[in-house]
Amino acid sequence: MSTPNNSLQMIAYSIQNLLSIKDDNQKIHFDRLKLQVDIVANELRLGSIRQSELDIIHNTFTEEFLNDSLVGHIIRKPYGYNEDFRVTDAIHDNFLSDDYPNWDKLIHSSSIAKSIRSRKEYFKNYLTHKLKKINIPRKMLMIAPGSGRSLLELYKRVNPNLSTDCLDLNKNSIHYYKGLTKEFSDKITYINESIHSFNVSKKYDMIWIEGVFEYMDDVTFVNTLKQIQTYINNDGDIVISNISKKNTSKNIMEILFNWQCTYRNRLELNNLATKANFIPTQINIRKDATRINSFLHIK
């Protein structure tokens, strides 16, 4: 049996010490842990640590912590993926667990949390502006809308002639945001199906996808975008978010929380859209206020 890497053991020891502090009034300093995480991330990239060895870190967290905190939920992934509806809504609500609030504050101050909150504002601002200029009814397809919080706040902000189809493979997600958006149920249809098996004859004026494509490899990205193209009207818009390489929380996410994304810059997004048979004049890539999110707009 191989001896655990010293860097991994140091992180495990730091976690044990930090977990013993539950007093909300006693500020936890994560600086040392973050430095240790950066060291392990570098060793992982150099190949001196294997991905499987990170279990030493994740197994250090107690059952109580994993079940009671937002960070624990992210590590456990009870729905099988990172950015589930409970994670996104907890970030929007700034949820803090009773016993481990400082750990949850670590998430809320991270770049990924800022990107999730900023995506919601970008969505609302973009759609509000667009819908105010249009008086005729519009049809939108929203793929995997997370907790549905963005959609709820959009409908509360404006009273648009907008009907929305929410496509989601996860029944738990649908149940959650169906309850959240029930006051607008006459405008929203909930479809429990995979994007890859979705077959619809009608065309949409807007297709919005966030928190999805950063979990795809390039081949899946292109193939999915080609499929989505068949759902859109000739003058419709497709908007896809992807977290950029400016995510300063990358090491904490990947090493400590086992949360991996595919980060893409403007050029990479442009190239993938081109591979999906869109021409340059159709492609526009924008940033949000945080500069962490990129939005691929296709017209």
Is the pLDDT score of 4 beyond 60?
Answer: no
Q: So what's the pLDDT on residue 26?
A: 60
β-pair type (138-143, 204-209): parallel
Q: So what's the pLDDT on residue 201?
A: 85
Number of CB atoms found within 10 A of residue 11's CB: 23
CATH (residue range 113-298) = 3.40.50.150
Is the pLDDT score of 210 beyond 60?
Answer: yes
91: three-class secondary structure by DSSP: helix
Give me 260's structure tokens. Answer: 């991996």
Cross-strand partners of 140: 164, 206
Q: So what's the pLDDT on residue 24?
A: 60
Long-range CB contacts for residues 86-91, cutoff 8 Å, separation at least 24: 86/147, 86/176, 88/116, 88/146, 88/147, 88/149, 88/211, 89/146, 89/147, 89/149, 89/176, 91/116, 91/117
Give me 227's structure tokens. Answer: 């499929």
Is the pLDDT score of 6 beyond 60?
Answer: yes
Is the pLDDT score of 84 beyond 60?
Answer: yes
User: Where along the chain do its domains lie?
Assistant: 6-109, 113-298
What is the Cα–Cα distance from 33 to 8, expressed in whole angstroms? 11
Is the pLDDT score of 29 beyond 90?
Answer: no
Encode pLDDT of 147-202 as tens digits. 999 999 999 998 668 999 999 999 999 999 999 999 999 999 999 999 989 988 88
Which has the minimum average pLDDT: 69-73, 130-134, 207-211?
130-134
Q: So what's the pLDDT on residue 231?
A: 95
Q: So what's the pLDDT on residue 278?
A: 97
Looking at per-residue pLDDT, the higher value among 136 and 26 belongs to 136
Averaged pLDDT for residues 2-10? 77
Encode pLDDT of 48-63 as tens digits. 999 999 999 999 999 9
Is the pLDDT score of 82 beyond 80?
Answer: yes
The structure's pTM equals 0.92
Q: How many residues does the chain have?
A: 299
Q: What is the chain's mean pLDDT, rounded? A: 93
55 — phi, psi (to 5°)?
A: -60, -25
DSSP type of residue 252: I
Which has the minimum average pLDDT: 23-27, 124-128, 186-190, 240-244?
23-27
Q: Are 217 and 272 in contact (CB under 8 A)?
A: no
Encode pLDDT of 40-49 as tens digits. 999 999 999 9
Q: So what's the pLDDT on residue 107?
A: 94
Encode pLDDT of 94-144 as tens digits. 999 999 999 999 999 999 999 999 999 999 999 999 888 877 789 999 999
Is the pLDDT score of 255 beyond 90?
Answer: yes
Q: Going by C-beta distance under 8 Å and a sequence separation of 6 or more, which residues neighbour residue 252?
A: 34, 37, 106, 110
